Amino acid sequence: MIVLRALRPARWLAAALIALVPCLASSALAQTHPGQAALVDEVVRDTGKSAAELNALLDGAARQQSILDAISRPAEAKPWRDYRPIFVTPKRIADGVAFYRQHRALLEQMGARYGVDPAYLVAIIGVETSYGGNTGRYKVLDALVTLGLYYPPRASFFREQLKVLLELPANHLAGPLDTLTGSYAGAQGWGQFMPSSIRDFAVDADQDGRIDLKNSLPDIIASVANYFAGHGWAAGEPVAARAQPDARANPVTAPDSQPRWPLEQLEAWGYAPLEALSPAQPATLLKLDGANGPEYWFTFGNFQVITRYNRSPLYAMSVHQLAQAIAAGAAQADTAR
């Protein structure tokens, strides 16, 4: 009897441990990536999607060292004299002029609908993907899993983008989620939209019941235009203009591209505009390291809108200069016809 009493608890404990093994295995599978289980729980809570299907998607994603390497050396770290030649090139200008002329009716239709200069819609697509020629080779899931779950410096932002991606309806994407490709940062399509931008600004302009930023030019152009309009693009207002400092010019430092002073204040500090502009126009001053020395630019509200696409002022200036060159080239081609 004493022996039997001693064995019963041992057998009960062994049975309990055996029963616990599948649960532990299941938990381990749910954690292919750090924080995966919590992320899946949030998406299930917010959308009612299947945890098993979400885990299967995330289990199929891989941490990519090449993505971590790429984000550590962004082009925006270069000085303007080296950054500009990447994006404002004779070929990109010529291709932009050809794109503008080929799709003029659609561009002008969407430009009028959203109040955005069509040349800037072309320039965004040109800077982002060379007019759809290079939309990115990374799997979007790999990119956002890598940066959202393995890149502490910006994990909060990219984890949120991963969550939004998992929550997007299927008809907001160009194909099955695990087949999407894009940039190392997880941006998709000709306009390189992040998931939150797809959610907030992407448009089904061709009215086929889905948003396709990779294959539908109406959706692509309308979505970029809607993004600009949604961030405050003002039709007919300036973007940027050269400034000429005089010998008494005071150094002006601004933390970002927000227009902080009326233009006449910057003039009073010693910076003269090289074209006619309203003295009351809100502006800020941007100094760039140009190929021939320092360049000074007044930038305005529409310039700040471009920085909502990419916060770098170098990026915004390249979009501005490419747009100006495309508009001039298209007008010249029209005149020569």
List pLDDT tens digits, range 188-209. 999 999 999 999 999 999 999 9
Tokens of 151: 């890149």
The answer to the question of residue 167 being in a domain is yes
Query: Any idea which residue has 């003029």 for tokens?
Result: 104
Question: Alpha helix (H) ranges present in the chain?
Answer: 2-29, 36-47, 51-59, 65-71, 80-87, 90-102, 104-114, 118-129, 140-150, 155-167, 195-201, 217-230, 263-268, 301-307, 313-336
Task: Quote the domain boundaries for residue 99.
Answer: 81-230
- One of 53, 76, 108, 128 is an active-site residue; which one? 128
The answer to the question of residue 5 being in a domain is no
The answer to the question of residue 136 being in a domain is yes
Q: What is the pLDDT of residue 11?
A: 55
Q: Per-residue DSSP letters for 248-316?
A: TPPP---SSS---EEHHHHHHTTEEESS---TT-EEEEEEEEETTEEEEEEE-HHHHHHHTTS--HHHH
What's the total number of domains in the chain?
1
List pLDDT tens digits, range 54-106. 999 999 999 999 999 999 988 888 999 999 999 999 999 999 999 999 999 99
Nearest to 143, CA basis, from 107, 96, 92, 194: 194
* 128 counts as catalytic: yes
Q: Residue 272: is its pLDDT beyond 90? A: yes
Q: What is the pLDDT of residue 2?
A: 37
The answer to the question of residue 176 being in a domain is yes
The answer to the question of residue 200 being in a domain is yes
Q: Report CA dihedral (310, 39, 67, 182) to the nearest 10 degrees.
A: -60
The answer to the question of residue 73 being in a domain is no
Q: Is the pTM of this model over 0.75?
A: yes
Burial of 37 (0-12, 13-18, 19+ CB in 10 A): middle
